[in-house]
Structures are given as structure tokens and as C-alpha cells.
Amino acid sequence: MNVGNEGFEEMILDHYRNPRNYGRIEHPTSAITEYNPVCGDALHFTVNIRNSRIEDIKFIGRGCSVSMAAASILTERVKGMEIHEVEQIREEVFLKSLGIYLGPVREKCALLSLNALKKIAGGKRDES
């Protein structure tokens, strides 16, 4: 990552080294794999959605510090959310909440997880 706020940078590194919600849910209601071919990063999410609410979420994956940390942070945030709320998370807002300037390429890394979750949310919406 680039020029940034020390505290936020610490947060990213912490999530990278100790990702939260890391693993798989056994019988998820939804699952998705999202990848970034530019760097080969891949994230796999398993989610339990009940009554349009995210009850549980886990991920596994491989990637750079930014994509892994963003996935970890995002799982913490969305747990318990309504899926329509997930759909409404704006990219700029999520990026801003990470607190460091990423630049155009690494923004894609950071948004990998958000894109995945939006696809899950959109898919659920379509079905209902």
C-alpha cells in the first residue's frame, strides 16, 4: 500500500496476518468464488442467509495484503446485515473506510470481496 495513515496501515496488516472469519461454512445457503486474473488473487465466500439477513459468513482465499485484509474486514462488517444493505455499500465508501490511499490497481484488490458479496446479495434478490 502507499502513503497512508499509520493506524489504518496497522489495521490492514493485522487483518492480513490474522484474517477474521477465515474458513468455510459447512452447508452454506450461498457460496461464490471471485478472482482477479491480473494477480491471481482468489477469494471464496460461504454465506448463510436467512430471512434476507446474513447470519454467518466465512472466507478462504489467497491474495495480497490488501485483498485479504479487505475480505476479512468486510466479513466482520456484513455479519448481521440485511442483504439489501450489502447491495447498497458504495465502493467509494468502503474504500474510504479502509483509511489508506490505494491507487487504481490496488483498489481492485480491495473491491474483490465487495464485488463477490454484492453478487451473492443480487443473486438472492433475484431469487426472491
Residue 125 binds another protein, judged by CB under 8 A: no
DSSP string, 68-122: HHHHHHHHHHHTT-BHHHHHH--HHHHHHHH-B--HHHHHHHHHHHHHHHHHHHH
Q: Report CA 36 to chain centroid distance, whole Å.
A: 13
Q: What pairs with residue 82 in β-bridges?
A: 53
- x/- string (CB under 8 A) for another protein, residues 40-79? xxx-x---------------xxxxxxx-x-----------
- Which C-beta is closer to another protein: that of 10 or that of 80? 10
Stretch of residues binding another protein (CB under 8 A), selected from 18-26, 47-55, 89-97, 120-128:
18-26
Should residue 6 be labelled a site residue for another protein when binding is judged by CB under 8 A?
no
